[in-house]
């Protein structure tokens, strides 16, 4: 086994104490994976791309591509003991790979600039649901639009950046790990309460049927690509997050087992989110495939018609906010770790700098959905959608491809770091060399509009 400890002295900010405990690491990685992707995006794309059949496809993508790439990212991080740029460089001794790794530091920074805006919406909705203001009028579409047109999204976005920065500034074991150890199990408990409520709604079972009884005729080629893209997004892959978390993992931790736990955890939260959103939507006659507005415009209608609706609605949005925050923390950690390494800054200083820069960059996004910048579009999209489009559909598949090629063809000691048996190692390498790159290129070409489907 190689001795990688020389990589540990990457700046005074990264003392040797920066390590996860074993359960802390798993919960933190689950915290990163479980986010707006599971509870806000997954139900809406499942509604749109084929219901239960799409869900099955998503599980297949998670198993055959998501888990192997997750293992690859964690191995790169622990093997290189650095940020994505320095880890790629150390493990290959090639500047080109270091530069390629750097791309996956820029992506989470950009993603956080708009992810924090949506996370801010969820906190706002939690507050107005608990206080009943949300239910004063029954036009929830109008409610959402007038909120988005105000300056309030900026205020909430700054609150989110502040909270995220506060956790990241406290460091790995004192901040990020502690935060996730409390919130991730708490989130599960609250979601289960909400799921029981949803499943006992009259008419809710039609939603369960839609979500769990597959009808394969509803699938299209596009469904496959969307499922694969979502497996990446949902497991926080292609954004340097898992590489960055991998560096804080102890040598004795099994990365294969950790990958299984994170993949399983992510799936369970998606399953529960589906078992909340679909029964609720069907019980109240709401179209589940209507798009990103589903959670903010339609679910309040459902909550308003339920006994104790403002409480259950508030609970739901708090959960969404918590899930978003644990993911936002993992997004911020990537550029913060890079700044600490590169400029030898303390964690606190690096966090203040990065969170402030990201917060400032996010303000125009916060004002672009019907706000004062709502009239300006880039490539026909409001700024927030544009940044999301470029990051999720172009940069993310690119970083995913870099990871698969690096582990499949460049880094010869990947197998030692991953610690797999020779049987599983051979399967893993096959996926890294042939299956994952081909599929990622397909997603990329599709997202870039080079290939299209009707």
36 contributes a contact to ligand PFF by CB under 6 A? yes
Using rule CB under 6 A, residue 66 touches ligand PFF: no
Q: Residue 378's beta-bridge partner residues?
A: 381
Which residue sits closest to ligand PFF, CB atoms considered? 37
Answer yes or no: are the C-beta atoms of 355 and 165 closer than 8 Å.
yes
The nearer residue to ligand PFF, 233 or 312, going by C-beta atoms, is 233
Q: How far apart are CA 272 and CA 263, in angstroms?
A: 14
Q: DSSP code of 381?
A: B
Q: How far apart are CA 116 and CA 136, in angstroms?
A: 27
Q: CA-to-CA distance for 403 and 436, rounded, in angstroms?
A: 10
CB 20 within 8 Å of CB 250: yes
109 binds ligand PFF (CB under 6 A): no
Task: Decide: is 429 part of the binding site for ligand PFF (CB under 6 A).
Answer: no
Minimum CB separation of residue 160 from ligand PFF in Å reads 13
CA angle 338, 118, 317 (to 5 degrees): 120
32 is an interface residue for ligand PFF by CB under 6 A: yes
**Position 38 contacts ligand PFF (CB under 6 A):** yes
Give whichever of 32 and 46 is closer to ligand PFF, judged by the CB atom. 32
Answer yes or no whether residue 180 interacts with ligand PFF by CB under 6 A. Answer: no
Nearer residue to ligand PFF within complex by CB, 10 or 32? 32
Smallest gap from residue 128 Cβ to ligand PFF (A) = 22
Interaction of residue 239 with ligand PFF, rule CB under 6 A: yes
Q: Is 229 in the site for ligand PFF (CB under 6 A)?
A: no
Q: How far is the CB of 308 from ligand PFF (least distance, A)?
A: 28
Q: Which of residues 189-208 bind ligand PFF (CB under 6 A)?
A: none
Contact pick of 29, 30, 33, 123 for ligand PFF (by CB under 6 A): 33
C-beta separation of 373 from 364 below 8 A = yes
Judged by CB under 6 A, the stretch of 52-60, 232-240, 278-286, 425-433 that binds ligand PFF is 232-240
Q: Is 129 in the site for ligand PFF (CB under 6 A)?
A: no
In the 8-state DSSP scheme, what is residue 369? S
Q: How many residues contact ligand PFF, by CB under 6 A?
A: 15
- Shortest distance (Å) from residue 400 CB to ligand PFF: 11
* Among 118-126, 196-204, 231-239, 362-370, the segment contacting ligand PFF (CB under 6 A): 231-239
Q: Between the CA atoms of 260, 262, 267 and 270, what dihedral angle is there, to the nearest 10 degrees?
A: 180
Q: Does 35 help bind ligand PFF (rule: CB under 6 A)?
A: yes
Residues that bind ligand PFF (CB under 6 A): 32-33, 35-38, 108, 233-234, 236, 239, 241, 327, 330-331
């Amino acid at each position: 086994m190689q001795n990688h400890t020389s990589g540990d002295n990457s700046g005074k900010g990264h003392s040797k104490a920066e390590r996860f405990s074993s359960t802390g690491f798993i919960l933190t990685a689950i915290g990163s994976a479980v986010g707006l992707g599971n509870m806000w995006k997954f139900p809406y794309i499942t509604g749109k791309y084929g219901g239960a059949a799409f869900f099955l496809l998503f599980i297949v993508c998670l198993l055959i591509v998501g888990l192997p790439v997750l293992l690859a990212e964690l191995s790169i991080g622990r093997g290189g003991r650095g940020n994505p740029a320095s880890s790629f460089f150390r493990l290959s001794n090639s500047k080109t790979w270091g530069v390629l790794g750097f791309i996956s530091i820029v992506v989470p920074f950009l993603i956080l600039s708009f992810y924090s805006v949506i996370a801010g919406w969820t906190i706002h909705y939690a507050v107005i649901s608990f206080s009943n203001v949300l239910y004063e009028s029954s036009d929830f579409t109008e409610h959402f639009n007038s909120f988005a047109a105000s300056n309030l999204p900026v205020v909430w976005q700054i609150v989110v950046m502040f909270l995220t920065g506060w956790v990241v500034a406290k460091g790995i074991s004192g901040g990020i790990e502690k935060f996730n150890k409390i919130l991730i199990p708490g989130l599960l408990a609250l979601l289960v309460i909400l799921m029981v409520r949803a499943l006992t709604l009259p008419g809710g079972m039609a939603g369960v049927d839609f979500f769990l009884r597959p009808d394969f005729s509803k699938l299209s080629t596009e469904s496959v690509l969307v499922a694969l893209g979502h497996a990446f997004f949902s497991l926080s892959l292609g954004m340097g997050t898992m590489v960055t978390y991998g560096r804080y993992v102890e040598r004795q931790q099994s990365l294969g087992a950790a990958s299984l736990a994170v993949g399983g955890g992510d799936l369970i939260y998606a399953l529960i989110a589906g078992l909340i959103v679909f029964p609720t939507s069907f019980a109240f006659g709401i179209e589940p495939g209507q798009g990103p507005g589903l959670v903010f415009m339609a679910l309040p209608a459902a909550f308003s018609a339920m006994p104790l609706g403002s409480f259950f609605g508030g609970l739901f949005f708090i959960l969404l906010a918590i899930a978003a925050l644990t993911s936002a923390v993992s997004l911020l950690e990537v550029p913060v770790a890079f700044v600490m390494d590169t400029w030898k800054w303390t964690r606190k200083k690096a966090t203040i700098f990065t969170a402030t820069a990201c917060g400032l960059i996010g303000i125009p996004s916060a004002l672009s959905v019907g706000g004062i910048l709502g009239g300006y579009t880039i490539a026909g999209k409001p700024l927030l959608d544009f940044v999301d489009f470029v990051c999720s559909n172009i940069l993310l598949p690119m970083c995913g491809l870099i990871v698969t090629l690096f582990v499949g063809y460049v880094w010869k000691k990947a197998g030692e770091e991953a610690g797999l048996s020779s049987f599983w190692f051979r399967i893993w390498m096959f996926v890294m060399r042939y299956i994952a790159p081909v599929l990622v290129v397909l997603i990329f070409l599709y997202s870039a509009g080079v290939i299209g489907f009707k």
